[in-house]
Structures are given as C-alpha cells and as structure tokens.
Amino acid sequence: MKTTLNNAAQPAAVPPPGQHKRWIMLALPIVVAILLLLVPTPAGLEPYAWHFFAIFVGVIVGLIFEPLPGAVIGLTGVVVIALFSQFVLFSPAELAKPGFKIATEAFRWGVSGFGNSTVWLIFGAFMFAAGYDKTQFGRRLALILVKYLGRRSLTLGYAITFADLLLAPFTPSNTARSGGTIYPIIANLPPLYGSKPNDPSARRIGSYLMWVAITAACITSSMFLSALAPNLLALALVKSVVGFDISWGMWFIAFLPLGVLLILTMPLLAYWLYPPEVKVNDEVPRWATAELQKLGKLSRNEILLLIFVVCALLMWIFATAWIEPAMAALLIIILMLWTGVLNWSDITSNKAAWNTFAWFATLVALADGLARVGFIAWLGKEGGLLLQGYDPQISAVVLLIAFYLLHYLFASTTAHTTALLPAMLTIAAAIPGINMPVFCLMLCTSLGVMGIITPYGTGPSPIYYGSGYLPTKDYWRLGTIFGLLFLVLLMLIAYPWMVMMF
C-alpha cells in the first residue's frame, strides 16, 4: 500500500519544453502534404502530378524547418513517392504498357539522383576541401595574407576577402570555407585590438572584420560555380528544366565584372558604412608571423594539393569536351589518395560530404520528378499566361527580383533553390522573347549574394551572427543595405554584361 501511495504521489512525466515543438515540426511537413492532397486538382493538370507536387511541397517545408537532417527529409520524400508511385509518379498510359514493372521503374527513378554528374561533382569538391583542411594549406593562405595586409584595418578586411577568394573555387561549402577556415583565424584578431564580443569594444574592429568576412563569403559564393553547393544543384535543375548547360567557365565569365567590382570595393564600403574605431595595429602581423612559423615550411602534401587543384580548375575550364567535370574531380581524388594527400578514412569519415551527397541526390530526383509528371510544363503555361502582354524584359526583371527577395523566407539556399528555381525557369520559358541563357545565369549567380540579406540567409551567417560582434539591429540594417546594393548591381552591371556575352 505504501509503495502504491508513493507511486501515486509522483507527478506525471512532463515532456521537455522543446519536445512539443519538435513534434510540431515533425508533423508540419506531413500535414501540409496531406492538406494539398485533399485540394482538388487544378484544371489542366493530371491528378497524379498534383499528388507528386503535394509530397514535394511537404519535402520543401521539411527542408525549411528541418525537424530532421535535410538528407533524411529528401530521402523520405523519394521513398514515399516510390512506394505510392502508381498514384503519384506514373501516368495511366505508362501503367497500361505491357511489361511495365512499377516496382522496378519506381526504384530506378528513386536512385536516379545518385547517378547525376553534378551530385558527384559536389562530392568531389568536398574532398578538395578536406585536403585543404588536412594539409592546413587553407590556413596557411589566410595567415600569409593577414601577415602582409594586417597592419591596417582596411587592408586586413582585404586580406580576409582575398583569403576567401583563394579558397572559394575548390570549396563548395561556404560554411566550411568561411565558418570552418576563415572564422577560426579572424576570431583571434579582435582581442589583439582590445575588441571583445558582446561588449561596446566590439566596434573597435571585431564588428568590421566579421561583417567583411560574411559579405566576402556571399560574393565568392556567386563568383564560382564550385564555391557553393546549391550552385551545383542549380546547374542540374537548369539542365533538367530547360535543357541549358552551364559550364564552370561560362559561370565565371558571367559574374566576372560584378564579382571583381564587389571584391575590390566591398571592404572599403564596409569601412565607410561600418567603420572600425582602430585603424592601425602592429600586433596582427606579428601574431600571423608566429602562427606561420608554427606551420613550418610548405609541406610535400601542400605542394601536391596545390598542383592537383590547379589541374582540376584547368580541366573544369578548358577540358570539358574531353572529360566530364565530375570525372575530373574523381580523377583528382584518386591522385590525392595514391599520393597520400588524403587517405581512405578521410573519405569514409567525411560526414558532411556524404550527407550532402545523399541530400542533393534526392533533391535532384524530386526536382526531375516534377518535370517528369508534367507539373513544370503546366506551371510554366499558367505563369506565362499571368505575365502575357508585358514586355519580356520587364517580365524577366520582375521574376529575378521576386526570386531574390523571396530568400527572406528561406533559411537554406538549398531549399530556396529546390523550391523556386524550377518554377521561375518554367514561367520564364513560357514567355516569348526572354533570353533564357541570360535569365538562367542571372538566377543562378544570385544565389550566393542573396545570402547576405538575413542572419540566417546562408550557411556561415549564424556563425558570424552568433560571434557577439554583430548586434541584431546592425546585422539587419547592413544586410538590407548590402542586399539591395547587390540586387541593383546585378541588374545594372551583370545583366547587360550577360546579354552582351551570351
């Protein structure tokens, strides 16, 4: 009886406060998908295509709120569609074909993204980044620039920018590049100036350095096809939706004038709009010199890595007629493995690379499925009707601005790309007179710079936002200023340049 009374006196177990929120986030994608499934199929669209779209939207909601890792969300969407493929993937005509095997064809579609060359290029670029990290070549580059440019606050801003620029072509994750390599170095610099986080002294120099670093990451993410993983996803989506191939060199040339302008002026603009209180300090170069001495002379593996990444870059630019870019990346990985720059455990233990590989492979399959079921063609037709009668150039500009500003709604460039890029491409393709190669390049190259507009706009944003040097009001104010500036310059410089070149 005593035991019973004691047990009865115990309060009921109460779930942790965060547990309710987690269950809501888990349920939200499912609820959204079910609600859309219950909506009557729009006119002109097959029911199975609408059902596919409903599940696709559920996946996008999951990617936005991330109750589970993105790869899990994407893989779940693919599996659900494959399991119910006769209702959401295949048309009645396909199902009626003699010998058509639903299970086999559904599986073939489900794993199709894993054979996509762009997905393998992303994976290869992650391995390059692993080489930078393991050999410490990336850290060496950044320290060299800080050593020679770090005496003045302004030139230190340029050192940070150039360090990101040097790493960007071979690092497809701006989180790894800026948050993993640049940030740990520059985080050591403000204390040398007496600048502390979450303190009025942050404005001495820490605030300026952190803002330059996140802005540089966004600019370089737009400069190079291989500098941001969603860039490569966009490449695959453009090819899938409109059949247009964007090469590494084409991307680079398209953004080159604007990219060079931003790289050369951004640290100075930040210096004017968000000036550091300390202008000169001799401690930073001395600290960088000491850190370089700890690294010692350039190692064999660093030299080999430098040779390999230059070879990869040359193949991506000049040899695409003879070797697929993804195969070029795999060739370099093999060379790194044979020469000991990386070992097999570096490959197998790289969780970020495998996670991104699985994530993007499922997203490519899902986006391709939208086109397969006819939803993209229907959306393009309907969207084209809405913009019918307007000048094609005005329609293109409206779509570009909408694509850019809608990034306020996304905490993931990947989710933004997957959700909106196919729709924008399809609508534009249905409007006669729009220069589709230029439109595709404008959409794709905007993916990096749009990340500056919010504290959650791109991978490294939360790192710098949480550094203690960028107060909330400052981040939103500067994000608005720089975001609008980037958008205006895209229209005034990049757009006319691309029209002339392509």
pLDDT digits (tens, 9 = 90+) for 221-264: 999 999 998 999 999 999 988 999 999 999 999 999 999 999 99
What one-character DSSP code corresponds to residue 386? Answer: H
Q: Would you place residue 2 in the very low, low, confident or very high pLDDT band (cuts 50, 70, 90)?
A: very low
DSSP string, 74-119: HHHHHHHHHHTHHHHTS-HHHHTSTT--HHHHHHHHHTGGGG-HHH
Q: How far apart are CA 257 and CA 498, in angstroms?
A: 10
pLDDT tens, residue by residue, 433-461: 899 999 999 999 999 999 999 887 888 88
pLDDT band (50, 70, 90) for residue 129: confident
Strand partners, 152: 280
Place of tokens 């989506």: 237
* pLDDT band at 11; cut points 50, 70, 90: very low
pLDDT at 355 over 50: yes
| Matching residue, tokens 């929120």 | 21
Structure confidence by residue, pLDDT tens digits, 381-440: 787 777 777 888 899 999 999 999 988 877 678 878 988 898 899 899 888 889 999 999
Q: Quick one: average pLDDT of 94-104?
A: 91
The tens digit of pLDDT for each residue in 284-336 reads 888 889 989 999 999 999 999 989 988 887 887 788 778 888 898 899 999 99
pLDDT for residue 346 is more than 50 = yes
Structure token digits, residue 451:
């990340």
Q: For residues 236 and 428, what is the distance between their CA atoms, to the nearest angstrom?
A: 17
pLDDT of residue 401: 94
How does the average pLDDT of the chain come out, rounded? 88
List phi, psi (to 5°) of 280. -135, 140
Contact at 8 Å (CB) between 428 and 396?
yes
368-397: burial string, b at 16+ Cβ within 10 Å, e else: bbbbbbbbbbbbbebbbeebeeeeeeebbe
**Which residues touch 466 (CB under 8 Å, ≥6 apart)?**
none
Amino acid at 223: M
- Name which of 160, 500, 174, 90 is nearest 356 in CA terms: 174
CB atoms within 10 A of CB 209: 27
pLDDT at 127: 85
**DSSP helix/strand/coil, 390:** coil
Among 232, 123, 139, 207, CA closest to 177:
139
pLDDT in tens, 277-286: 989 888 888 8
**What would the mean pLDDT of 136-154 be, rounded to a whole number?**
86
Q: Say yes or no to pLDDT of 213 above 90.
A: yes
Note the pLDDT of residue 441: 97
The tokens for 139 are: 């850290």
DSSP for 238-307, please give it. Answer: HHHHH-----HHHHHHHHHHHHHHHHHHHHHHHHHHS--S--B-SHHHHHHHHHHHHH-SPPHHHHHHHH
Task: For residue 419, give both structure tokens.
Answer: 């959700």
Amino acid 3: pLDDT: 43
**What is residue 16's predicted lDDT score, i.e. its pLDDT?**
60
- Gyration radius from the chain CA atoms: 25
- Which amino acid is present at 484? L
Structure tokens at 319: 């040899």
- The model's confidence at residue 15, banded by pLDDT at 50, 70 and 90, is low
Write down the pLDDT at residue 20: 77
CB neighbour list of residue 167: distance below 8 Å, 6 or more residues apart: 132, 138, 141, 142, 177, 181, 182
Residue ranges in 319-471 assigned as alpha helix (H)? 325-339, 344-348, 351-372, 375-386, 392-405, 413-429, 436-449, 461-465
Section 32-53 average pLDDT: 93
How far is Cα 285 from Cα 25, in angstroms, rounded to an integer?
A: 48
- Evaluate whether 159 touches 149 at the Cβ level (below 8 Å): yes
- For the cut 80, the answer to whether the pLDDT of residue 176 exceeds it is no
**Is the CB of residue 20 less than 8 Å from the CB of residue 350?**
no
For every residue of 201-212, DSSP letters joined together read: GGGGTHHHHHHH
Which tokens belong to 40?
């009557």
Give 280's strand partners: 152
Rounded distance between C-alpha atoms, residue 364 and residue 233, angstroms: 7
The encoded tokens of residue 120 equal 């393998």
Question: Residue 171 half-sphere exposure, CB side, CA atoms within 13 Å?
Answer: 26
Sequence-separated (6 or more) residues with CB below 8 Å from residue 425: 237, 238, 241, 242, 439, 440, 443
CA end-to-end span of the chain: 86
Q: Average pLDDT in the 34-59 region?
A: 93
Distance in angstroms (rounded) separating the CA atoms of residues 400 and 176: 28
Percent of the chain residues topping a pLDDT of 90:
49
**12, pLDDT greater than 60:** no
Task: Map tokens 């398209």 to a residue.
Answer: 254
Q: Who wins on pLDDT, 100 or 384? A: 100
**Closest listed residue to residue 246, CA positions, set 81, 441, 435:** 441
- Would you place residue 4 in the very low, low, confident or very high pLDDT band (cuts 50, 70, 90)? very low
* Mean pLDDT of the 263-274 span: 97
- The identity of residue 421, as a single letter, is L
Q: For residues 172 and 33, which has the higher predicted lDDT (pLDDT)? A: 33
